[in-house]
Structure 1
């Protein structure tokens, strides 16, 4: 499909149909992404204030066959928020659509516009004595629309699920400019195809999410947090099973942290306080959410004792207050920043079946060892099988020196993930970075269906072209 540029004639057309302040010059930040892998094309920036203005922008773009790049918080790591080549696009940012349209405490529901920053959605829920549990490192800048468009995961998936599980309904603009009024707060609605789940995770290729009805939960009466030293990933997995047997859904977070990540943190971010003088080879950061009548420190200490008696826990520290718990989470949340300071040869967001994690870690190390003397940092959300398995240059060498091996490192790990029944993209999406990988590892029937859906809903091919699915020509 041949697309046209967002040129001066197109800009004039938009100005004839929209208030003057909707269109802006495209600032450099809209052409950049966090890892610097891609640079976006110059183009035209639109900042609509409501769904009507979004619909007008998309309708006119469809009429003129101009590419539309939806833009949320710009925090995506797979290049889905910019267009690196082709005709100049219309970059459509939702950042002015920031209203909390309503909170229904008795229903445990809230409606947010797509531009609401995740941390602000969390705060609005807290103001109503409720919990919106989606939590991730970029929550201070990531926006609800982008979280849903990428089906974001984060640290609480074990208990509450991905963004998909937290959404009751959507308002969205489809590729022809129609508004889908699906913003319902219903828990049951069996009226045909569920467009909500089609748009969630589609990364803006099937339409633009403009608002969402979100699930809320009662706030936990008490929260317990601990850093527990385990002898191996196998022991960590057994400890998770023990914790869930004892506590069920009260286990809300269970993060696996390798010693290499803690050593990187000590080297690059020494101000981040770590609970152990010497980084253990393997640590688990565990969090439990309890009713008010249970003491979190006692429950966590009992879990520590039970794990120790079974040889699953070697050492540990139970947080004695909220400040100490925040320090533990600060360790986990700063690991990616330390990784960036070291400079990875290849970074991977992957998942395998829970029981296969220990084997994958070993076989992954062996596969990378055959390619060179690399350092590995494996960390992530053990409870849902999502690992961040990152490969770094040998000590004394730089990322630039090893850049030529990046592709073969990624291929080796992705081949292994596929062999073990896993996913090469657990929570960041496909974007533009993993289009080739999706074609290589994706199920042919699924890919065929995806292309048919894309062609049916977006026949002009204007919605985020080149993301998720390769464009023709």
Structure 2
């Protein structure tokens, strides 16, 4: 039951209007659990402002009344960062009504959008302007720009274009006291002090609420070549990406690594997916080259690169897509892994990064440690080799009890994170900390880093009302 007074709720409604407030328990339900139903919470109210001024008014009132706020976008996160706690005292602030495209500036290669804009809509708007916005990930049909910024989203094109931090020139933020910081500057050079936008990007709503952003656009892509390549080992993937990079430069847009276990799950559970090869192989990569020139000789470049790798023993077999439908089919193999794994029962998902050069040793070492300690576990390894980001997921042994497997989560996580840190890696590469990794971050991050983070949090949000219990 809500602890909020009727007077407070009337004041909120006066700010956002009847369409901006939700109290019905049934209609609130979708805001109180994540898309996987892995995290659930309660809320006193769901507030859906439509403008930055409305957000500021809500935040100001909540600050005065000491009501905690949980910002939320498309609610597609994997670490519970946008879900309230179980107290029923927090308020969910959904930005999904803030969907305006404020400006497209082709000459400056920028687009200014509000936080509730769906990523796919942003991609389409860029295309309509004859430009390209490169952030791409599995949830692009429902995730929002605000959520992408809050978690510093990565995706499949980081290798060439960087993550959301690299794609952002300016942000507009409502601070915890309700002030509006207008940092919407479309400048690529600005050395007038601290670059404050980087405090808020990746902060998961704990320092303020990003309401709009100036984002970079790129020339439209007019040529694409995609190949599915079988490899004998993960070390071959590291050798191959270095060779392809040297040959193709920044035409190399994607380089996705997948273990055979990953592919087996997809072939078993995702309708329409077929193995491009007759035989099973230990590892696979999906390689994508792109160019702004129509009919660029990408196939020729890729065939040269793969041919040289075949001679060196880095590649066992390869197929280059010859149509858009074949490209879609190859990407479906990659994008279907997470869904396919869910059909195999509970899975423990980890999003880590290590230096690219360490990927083979990390996989070999960590696989062995897990199999020694937890016999029969199935290790689903895939990810973005070019930026060292692996999705290192563990499925239960065949026939194992679900509850018993889930009970091993902390022990399995410790093995993986201990190994990650031993290779100078990060326990969260692109999914954030949220509530899922908060305690682990306390254990694995440098104490001085945590002290500095807490000092920033205390300075900006002294009452601790912005997404409490997340990150720190």
TM range (shorter): over 0.9
8 A contact 2:248–2:301 mirrored in 1 = no
Q: How far is the alpha carbon of 1:314 from its aligned partner?
A: 0.8
* 1:19 and 2:22 matched: no
Runs of 4+ in 1 over 4 A off after TM superposition: none
- Answer yes or no: is the 8 Å Cα contact 1:151–1:201 preserved in 2: yes
Q: 1:367 to 1:132 in 2, by over 3 A?
A: same
**SS of equivalent to 2:329:** helix
Asked if 1:355 corresponds to 2:367, the answer is no
Mapped to 2, the partners of 1:12 and 1:106 lie a distance apart of: 45
Q: Distance in 2 between matches of 1:5 and 1:444?
A: 36
The residue matched to 1:158 in structure 2 has which SS?
Answer: helix
Is 1:10 aligned to residue 34 of structure 2?
A: no
Matches within 5 A, 1:247-266: 247-266=248-267
Out of 450, 453, 460, the position equivalent to 1:457 is 460
1:52 alignment counterpart:
53
Q: Which runs of 5+ in 2 are unaligned?
A: none
Residue 433 of structure 2 corresponds to which residue in structure 1?
430
1:35, CA displacement in angstroms? Answer: 3.0
Q: Secondary structure at the match of 1:212?
A: strand
Secondary structure of 1:462's counterpart equals coil
Which residue number in structure 2 is paired with residue 36 of structure 1? 37
Contact 1:235 1:312 in 2 (8 A): yes
Q: Which residue of 1 aligns with 2:316?
A: 314
Q: Does the aligned pair in 2 maintain the 1:254–1:383 contact within 8 Å?
A: yes
Provide, for residues 86-127 of structure 1, a one-character-per-residue CA deviation record: whole Å limited to 9, x for no partner: 352121111111111111112111011100000000000011
What root-mean-square deviation, in Å, do the aligned CA atoms of Structure 1 and Structure 2 show? 1.4
Deviates more, 1:327-336 or 1:85-94: 85-94
Correspondence for 2:301? 299
Contact 1:261 1:377 in 2 (8 A): yes
Residues 108-147 of structure 1 correspond to what in structure 2 (within 5 A)?
108-147=109-148
Between 131-140 and 340-349, report the one with greater CA deviation: 340-349
1:389 aligned to which of 366, 383, 392 = 392
Post-superposition offset of 1:460: 1.2
More moved, 251-260 vs 271-280 = 271-280
Cα distance in 1, alignment partners of residues 435 and 425 from structure 2? 20
1:334 counterpart residue number: 336
> 1:213 Cα deviation (Å)?
0.4
Partners of 1:393 and 1:384 lie apart in 2 by: 28
The alpha-carbon distance between structure 1 residues 18 and 223, as it changes in their structure 2 partners (threshold 3 A), is closer
Q: How far, CA to CA, are the matches of 2:94 and 2:408 in structure 1?
A: 36
**Cα distance per residue 1:169-198 (max 9 Å; x no partner):** 001100000001111111111122212100
Q: Which consecutive unaligned segments of at least 5 residues does structure 1 have?
A: none
Q: Is the 8 A contact 1:347 1:390 kept in 2?
A: yes
Per-residue displacement from partner, 1:347-383 (whole Å, max 9, x unpaired)? 1100011100000000111110122221111100011
Q: Distance in 1 between matches of 2:30 and 2:14?
A: 27
Which shows bigger deviation, 31-40 or 75-84?
31-40
| TM-score scaled by length of structure 2 | 0.96
CA displacement at 1:406 relative to structure 2: 1.3
Secondary structure at the counterpart of residue 162 of structure 1 = coil
TM-score (norm 1): 0.96
Instruction: Determine helix, strand or coil for the equivalent of 2:373.
Output: coil
Note if contact 2:70-2:466 (Cα within 8 Å) is conserved in structure 1. Answer: yes
Moved more, 303-312 or 44-53: 303-312
- What is the CA–CA distance in structure 2 between the aligned matches of 1:129 and 1:322, rounded to whole Å? 20
Q: For each residue in 1:432-470, what CA deviation from the matched residue of structure 2 results, as whole angstroms up to 9, or x when unmatched? A: 01111110001111100110111110111110000001x
State how 1:150-169 maps to structure 2 within 5 Å: 150-169=151-170
CA gap of 1:17–1:134, structure 2 versus 1, over 3 A, is: closer
How many aligned positions are there? 466
Partner of 2:443: 440
Tell me, what secondary structure is at the counterpart of 2:348?
Answer: coil
- 8 Å CA contact 2:253–2:288 kept in 1: the answer is yes
In terms of mean alpha carbon deviation, does 343-352 or 108-117 score higher? Answer: 343-352
In 2, Cα distance between equivalents of 1:220 and 1:342: 37
Residues 108-257 of structure 1 mapped to structure 2, 5 A cutoff? 108-257=109-258
CA distance in 2, matches of 1:121, 1:32: 25
- After TM superposition, the structure 1 = structure 2 runs for residues 261-280 of structure 1, keeping only pairs within 5 Å, are 261-280=262-281
Greater shift in the superposed pair: 454-463 or 81-90: 81-90
Residue in 2 aligned with 1:73? 74
Contact 1:6 1:89 in 2 (8 A): no
How far apart, in 1, do the equivalents of 2:367 and 2:33 lie?
32
